[in-house]
Structure formats: C-alpha cells, structure tokens
Structure 1
C-alpha cells in the first residue's frame, strides 16, 4: 500500500526553491516536458501523462482542500507513442489537457516538482511518499510541513485544486469575458 501526502502551491521564486533543494542534497532527475490528458470519468480522475521522463496512466482521488492532503492513486507505466491514448480518447473523450515543464527532485521518500504550467504560471509540489506503509501519515505530514516552511510557502499560496481545475477556471473566465 502506498500512502501519499502532497501539497501544491504557487511559486513566485523557483530559483530560491532550487537553491534550497541543492543545499538539502536533493537528487535532480531532470526537466520533464509533460502533457497530461485528462479523460471524462465518473469517479475520481484519469490522466495519461506523456513526458520525456515519466509516462504513466494515473487514476487518482484526492481531497480538494488547501494544504497537505492524502492522494489515493494507481499508476500504470506506459510507453510513449502507443495507441493507448487513441483508445482512451475514443472510449472516454478528452476532458482537458495540461501542458507543463516539470523539474523533478528527490530527497529520500520526498519528491519535489517545480512546475511551469502553460497559461497558469509557476508552482511547487511536495510529495511525501510511503510505499510500504512503514513511515506513517503523521511523519509524512510533518515532512511536507517542514519543506513548506523551508520554501516559505504561505497559506495564500496553497492550492486546493489540480492544474486541470485551474485551467478550466481560466477557460471559463475567458469565455465569460468574450460573451459580455
């Protein structure tokens, strides 16, 4: 069983976060250009991540609240340039597409993302991951909060939604302005 506690926040100073990660001894995995295609589903979310580093079909459910939250997900490793996307589009239809540049870092069981999301801006994500169930939710929460403080993440920077929700909101507001 995997337990995942994560936060997502606006990031006004990605360079500061990079410096802190360097000082903390983070392992840099690289920059991944990721296109996440979200599909129409009845329960939770389903996205196909096509990247230069990570390629997965991900089904997940997550609380929609600000601050650290638990994420329940299933990851299926995929190969680039297969017909999987066509099958999913044909059977489910596309809900929305998120295009981003993601810097990936690791420190022990912690995964950090510095994201630049097309039409949204810069963000930081912290994921505290317990793959075997031996760390526990309390310690994962403590780890998340420790790095939130280190990075200077303020309450108003925290996001409750996913990038897909934020993009939908931007699209809705644009359409609303055009119809005035």
Structure 2
C-alpha cells in the first residue's frame, strides 16, 4: 500500500504563505475544489472525494491522530460517478461527516504542499512527502521538517487528526 509522511498545520492566511510555497515549488499552484464525504470504517478512514460531477476518488487511509509528521498508508480508487457512489456508501456504511474545501496544490519534488481553505474552519497547510517502497520514515520526516522550516511554520501550529475531527469538535 502506498504511504507518505503527512503534517497538518493551522495557518493565519493562505495568501501570506502562498508566495513562500510558490518560491519552493517545481509545479503549481493549481486550485482544486474538493468535497469529501466520510463514511463509517472500523479499520481506518474512508472518504469519497468529489472533484466534479464526473470525477472523484474513493480514498481509504490509516494514520495516527497526533501532531507532527506521521506515516499515512493510503489506497485510491477513481470513480466517474461520485454522486452514485456516495449514495451507495451512505446506504451501506453510513456517513459520518462532510468536509468542503478549496485546495491550492504545489509540488516540491516528491512533496505535495496543500494550502487548504476549509469551510467552517479556516486556513491550513498540509504537507505530504511521498515515500518509496521500503524507504525509512526518517527520510520523509526530515523532508517535512525542512519544508516546514522554509515556510516558517512552527511546531505549535501543528494539529492532530483530520479536518472532519475539527468540525465535529466545533459542534460539541
């Protein structure tokens, strides 16, 4: 199963961080509207990401809910019928929440920089360092720390869990 090292951090404003990220990037920025529906899943997290009426992907992932760089295992399955798949999974598994965001994607080598404006939550940075098969975690963690430092993101800004967790915490 593919894996990466991931961090999430709360940031004051995307427009303040975008020039720094763009200066590091090999490619981007690309803006993407994403609508993620989460379903009950005992062995990790299962979400359907809708990108358009005819494009989406079912994403299963498993990672620790803690601050700082963490290993994430994931599996992606594309779909051309995200609305029908959402209906089927809702009936079969039950929905636990939905996250809508605008993502600005930039690439720095093998690292994906996501600048996310999450509806109801605010602005966030997410880094995903894609690991090779058998590559030690430490290499990806060091790369995540290096990019964090170059973007002036402090460890105190890091969050644990998923955007869905933050939205659920707000409701309680």
TM-score, length-normalised on structure 1? Answer: 0.88
Matched, 1:118 2:122: no
The equivalent residue for 1:106 is: 107
Instruction: Give the Cα–Cα distance (whole angstroms) in 1 for the partners of residues 74 and 82 of structure 2.
Output: 23
> Which whole-Å deviations, capped at 9, do the CAs of 1:49-97 have from their partners, x for residues lacking one?
0014x72101111111100000011111122455211110111111000
Counterpart in the other structure of 1:144: 144
SS at match of 2:91: helix
Map 1:52-63 onto structure 2 (within 5 A): 52=52, 55-63=56-64
| Residue in 2 that maps onto 1:26 | 26
Counterparts of 1:141 and 1:82 in 2: how far apart (Å)?
Answer: 36
User: How far 1:2 sits from its partner (Å)?
Assistant: 2.4
Conserved in 1, the CA contact under 8 Å of 2:102 and 2:117?
Answer: yes
Matched residue, 1:67: 68
In structure 1, C-alpha distance between the alignment counterparts of 2:18 and 2:31, rounded to whole Å: 13
Distance 1:135 1:20 in 2: 28
SS in structure 2 opposite 1:142? helix
Match of 1:85 in 2: 86
- Stretches of structure 2 lacking an aligned partner (at least 5 in a row): none
Q: Is the 8 A contact 2:30 2:104 kept in 1?
A: yes
Tell me the matched-pair count.
171
* Alpha-carbon distance in 2 for matches of 1:68, 1:25: 20
What is the CA-CA distance between 1:135 and the residue it aligns to? 4.6
Q: How far has the Cα of 1:38 moved from its partner?
A: 0.2
Aligned partners of 1:162 and 1:13: how far apart in 2? 19
8 Å Cα contact 1:16/1:151 also seen in 2: no
C-alpha change, 1:55 and 1:110, in structure 2 (3 Å) is same
Structure 1 counterpart of 2:3: 3
Cα distance between partner residues in 2 of 1:135 and 1:7: 18
Deviation at 1:134, TM superposition (A): 6.1
- Secondary structure of residue in 1 paired with 2:101: strand
Give the match for residue 175 of structure 1: none
CA distance in 1, matches of 2:168, 2:126: 20
Of structures 1 and 2, the larger Rg is shown by 1
The corresponding residue for 1:129 is 130
